[in-house]
Amino acid sequence: MNFLEKCTVFIMPLILVCVAFMLLLSKRELVISFMDGAREGMATCINLLPTLLLIMCGVSALFSSGGVDVLCSIFRPVLTFLGVPEELLPSIILRPFSGSGVTAVADRLFKEIGADSYVAKTACLLMGATDTIIYTLSVYFSAANIKKTRYALPASFVVFLFSIIVSVLIGRKLL
Amino acid sequence: MLSKTFSVMIIFSFVSACLTNNVERMAESFVSSLSDAVTLCLSLLGMMCFWSGIMKVIAESGVLNKLTAVIKPLIKPVFGKETAKGENLENLSAAIMANFLGLGNAALPLGINAVKSFEKNNKSGIATDSTIMFAVLNTVPFQLVPSTLIALRSKYGSQNPYDVVPYIWLCSLIIISFAVVVCKIMSRLWRKKL
């Protein structure tokens, strides 16, 4: 497996080398295409700022106000009913909102109960197989200039609930 | 979606802040959250520019055609016929590959390219099924090497930090299949509301 990790280090530089060869060997001036593309990318990114402001403001309010703890106590009965270990609650509640927040929580979790425990491994499953919901959806929809997202949010949360169940089941049966 | 999500988060936070006596901290964090957003935007800027540029070079060189030929049979049943051709297919394939290879920062600009091409002719501001499918699938990524998790585990003395990786793959595959099915079912249910 260590070999796999080594390989991934090479992916990015290799892509760059391929592009370098393309620029060298092509008869057309591909650098101009690069400039055009980069300019479009810049506009897209700057246009994302208003969305990012709203999201970051909302998420940080949720963290600093103690809203996360309130959410934890609201969802505790449901999640323990599903067989979720008590220690995993904070990472589950944070998952839809914040990527770095979950990493911080996992860091504390591993320190307290050890990285090889069954709960820590279940946390890995959940974190490895899911990503933040609010941020991801907002970024893609606002970049595509979409106002009405229809079933995107409900679908994401249904899938997230399913992810919790699957990680806990696989964690309990296989690890 | 954004307005509702934001409002719910803020109102819920304020009520919680009053209950847990944290209003002062909430006020303080508001200021720093705004500069965090600007920092995030700036840190994305370089990657966005660079990968959008590279993407354009690759698209014009025609290399993507070969890649899309491989991925197309997988994309067609999931995203539908309209998305599985031309520019849409090229952008989508590039985004999927970047995700799969774990090029985190490159995956976002390529993904944004993909959804922009899905919605290029859409003036209504109502999301199409392809965009929703893509966005929802992005909340359940497939990571070939979950490097953050591995780093965290080895930091706290795991015997073999890699041993969970196959199980994460298994988990991801089950969840991704489920996500595709959920999106397909919900797109039927929501059609009437359009």
State residue B37 phi and psi, 5-degree precision. -65, -40
pLDDT of B135-162, one tens digit each? 999 999 888 778 778 888 888 888 888 8
Helix axes B129-138, A152-174, angle to 10 degrees: 40
Q: Is the pLDDT of residue B71 over 90?
A: no
Task: Give CB contacts under 8 A, 24+ apart, made by A137-140.
Answer: A137/B1, A137/B135, A137/B136, A137/B139, A138/A51, A138/A54, A138/A55, A138/B1, A138/B2, A138/B5, A139/A48, A139/A51, A139/A52, A139/B108, A139/B112, A140/B111, A140/B112, A140/B115, A140/B131, A140/B134, A140/B135, A140/B138
Sign of CA dihedral A156, A157, A161, A164: positive
Does B132 sit within 8 Å of A61, measured CB to CB?
no
Is there a contact between A147 and B187 (Cβ–Cβ < 8 Å)?
no
Interchain CB contacts (distance < 8 Å): A and B: 338
Residue B170's pLDDT band, with cuts at 50, 70 and 90, is very high
Q: Is the pLDDT of residue B63 over 60?
A: yes
Dig out the tokens for B127 from the structure. 């999301």
Residue B183's pLDDT band, with cuts at 50, 70 and 90, is very high
Dig out the tokens for A116 from the structure. 């090889």
CA of B76 vs chain A CAs: smallest distance (Å): 20
Q: Is B117 helix (H, G, I), strand (E, B) or coil?
A: helix
Distance from C-alpha of B91 to C-alpha of A72, rounded to nearest angstrom: 39
Residue B181's pLDDT band, with cuts at 50, 70 and 90, is very high
Rounded mean pLDDT of chain B?
86
pLDDT at residue B64, rounded to an integer: 74
Find the range with the poorest average confidence among B27-31, B116-120, B141-145.
B141-145
Residue B40 touches chain A, beta carbons under 8 Å: yes
Q: Which residues of A touch B102 (CB under 8 A)?
A: 8, 11
CA of B193 vs chain A CAs: smallest distance (Å): 9
Distance from C-alpha of A151 to C-alpha of B187, rounded to nearest angstrom: 7
Residue B115's pLDDT band, with cuts at 50, 70 and 90, is very high
Cross-strand partners of A174: none
Helix axes B64-79, B86-100, angle to 10 degrees: 90
Note whether residue B140 is domain-resident.
yes
Is there a contact between B28 and A79 (Cβ–Cβ < 8 Å)?
no
Note whether residue B173 is domain-resident.
yes
pLDDT at residue A5, rounded to an integer: 63
Note whether residue B42 is domain-resident.
no
Note whether residue B30 is domain-resident.
no
pLDDT at residue B192, rounded to an integer: 56
Note whether residue B134 is domain-resident.
yes
pLDDT of A114-160, one tens digit each? 888 889 999 999 988 998 999 899 999 999 999 888 999 999 999 99
Rounded mean pLDDT of chain A?
87
CA of A115 vs chain B CAs: smallest distance (Å): 5
Cross-strand partners of B126: A148
In this structure, what DSSP letter does residue A50 have?
H
Note whether residue B2 is domain-resident.
no
Residues of chain A numbered 48-87 and touching chain B (CB < 8 Å): 48-49, 51-67, 69-70
Note whether residue B17 is domain-resident.
no
Distance from C-alpha of B12 to C-alpha of B6, rounded to nearest angstrom: 10
pLDDT at residue B168, rounded to an integer: 92
Q: Which residues of B touch A160 (CB under 8 A)?
A: 139
Residue B99 touches chain A, beta carbons under 8 Å: no
In this prediction, residues B105-124 reach a mean pLDDT of 86
In this prediction, residues A151-172 reach a mean pLDDT of 93
CA of A127 vs chain B CAs: smallest distance (Å): 8
The domain spans of chain A are 1-47, 66-174
Distance from C-alpha of B139 to C-alpha of A50, rounded to nearest angstrom: 21
Domain residue limits at B62: 48-193
In this prediction, residues A37-44 reach a mean pLDDT of 87
In this prediction, residues A36-58 reach a mean pLDDT of 87
pLDDT of B83-113, one tens digit each? 887 888 888 988 888 887 767 667 888 899 8
Note whether residue B36 is domain-resident.
no
State residue B64 phi and psi, 5-degree precision. -60, -30
Provide the number of structural domains found in chain B: 1
Q: Is the pLDDT of residue A4 over 70?
A: no
Residue B92 touches chain A, beta carbons under 8 Å: no
